[in-house]
Amino acid sequence: MVTEHNHTSFPEDILRLIVEECLLSSQPNAFRFFLVSSYTKAWAEPHIYSKVVLRTPKQITSFISALNGESPTSLPAQHVRVIWLLCADSSENGGLRDVPEKCPNLIHFAYDGPDAPFEVPYAEATNAAESPRLSRLTICSPKQVAVQQGHMPIPFQHLTHLHFICPSSGAYDELVFKRVGQLTSLSYLLIEITSPSAMYWPNSSAPIFPSHTAQISLYNQRQSLRDLFSRIPTLRSVIVKSDFPVMGRSRMIRSVFEGEPRIILKLRETIESDEAYLEGSPSYVLPEDQVTAWHDRLLCSLEEADEMWSREDTI
C-alpha cells in the first residue's frame, strides 16, 4: 500500500507505472486511488476524467455543475479530452456552450441530434497556443444535421477526424462532398452504417431495418470517394464499416474500390436473415429499452473509433 509516508520507497516513475496499469485493468474502482495518497490521486485524475459520457439530462446537469464549480464533486477540466453527448436533444444542453473554453484539452466530441450545443471559437484565438485543440468530430445523426442544416461545433477547415454513424445519401452530399473545399485539414474519414439513431424511432414498437440506401449511396458515390484523396491532400484514409450483413452487395461494393488501398472496407460478411440481425439491434427490443440499446451500440462504435485514432497517432 502506497501512503504519504512511504511513497518514496520506490522510484516515482515505477510507482506511477504501477498505478496506471492498475487503472487500466480496474477502471470501475479507479476512485479508490484518491484515498491512497495525494500522489496516486494526481496520477489517477487524468485517466478518470479524460473521457466524459453523457447519456441522460441528469448527467448533463451534473457535468455542467461540476464544470462551473457548483458541485461538491470537483472536475479537473484540464484532463477532459473526450466528450460523448448521447442525448443532444436535451433542454439542458444550453449549459454546455462554454465547454470548449473550460476544457482546453478537449480533442474529440460526439453528439446525437440535429444540432450541436456549442461552436468552437477558433476565430477568437490570438495565437496557436490559445487555439482550441478540438478537431475530432462524431455525428451520430448526420441525416438530421444535413436536413435541418444544424451548425457544426467545429469549423470544417479545422476538422482532422470525421466520423459518421448511420449515414445517408444526404449526409454524404451535404456534409462531405459539398464541403470538400473546406475540409483542408481532414486526415481520417470514418463512415459507419448501422441501425438508425434512437432519435428516429422514439416510442416505436415496430422493428426498424438498417437502411440499405446507405449502401446504395456508397456505391453511387464511389468516384466521389476516390476523388477525395486528390481534392483533400491531407486525407490519409477513408474507412467504411457496416455492422449488419450486406446481403449480397459485398462483392459489388468491394469491386468498385479495388486498387485504392486508402479506402478500407470493414463489411460484415455473414449471410443471415434480417430477423437474426435484428435480435442484436436496438430497434428489436422493447420500446422502453430502445434508447439504452442504441446507446450501448453507439458506445461500442465510439470506443473502437477512439482506439483506432489513438493507434494511428502513434504511427
Q: What share of the chain is helix, strand, coil (3-state, %, to 5)?
A: 50, 10, 40
pLDDT for position 106: 93
Residue with cell 476538422: 159
- The CA-based angle 119-187-55, given to 5 degrees, is 45
pLDDT for position 207: 43
Distance, CA of 98 to CA of 119 (rounded, Å): 9
Contacts of 264 (CB under 8 A, 6+ apart): 237, 238, 239, 240
pLDDT for position 82: 94
> Quick one: CA torsion of 286, 289, 291, 294, rounded to 10 degrees?
-80
Q: In a 3-state reduction of DSSP, which class is residue 108?
A: strand
The H or E element that residue 226 is part of is helix 222-231
256-303 pLDDT tens trace: 788 889 999 887 765 554 444 445 555 555 545 677 778 888 898 899
Q: How far apart are the first and last CA of the chain?
A: 37
- For residues 183 and 166, the answer to whether their CB atoms sit within 8 Å is no
State residue 269 phi and psi, 5-degree precision.
Answer: -95, -15
pLDDT for position 266: 84
pLDDT for position 251: 72
Tens place of pLDDT per residue across the chain (315 aa): 444 445 456 677 777 677 766 766 666 566 666 667 777 777 777 777 889 999 888 888 888 888 887 766 667 888 899 999 988 667 777 788 888 888 989 999 999 877 788 887 765 544 445 556 899 999 887 766 766 666 788 888 999 999 988 766 667 777 888 889 999 999 999 988 776 665 555 544 444 445 555 666 677 778 888 899 999 999 999 998 877 665 556 677 777 788 889 999 887 765 554 444 445 555 555 545 677 778 888 898 899 999 998 887 666
Which parts of the chain are beta strand (E)?
Answer: 51-54, 82-85, 108-111, 136-139, 161-165, 188-193, 237-242, 263-267
pLDDT for position 198: 59
Distance, CA of 109 to CA of 66 (rounded, Å): 18
pLDDT for position 177: 85
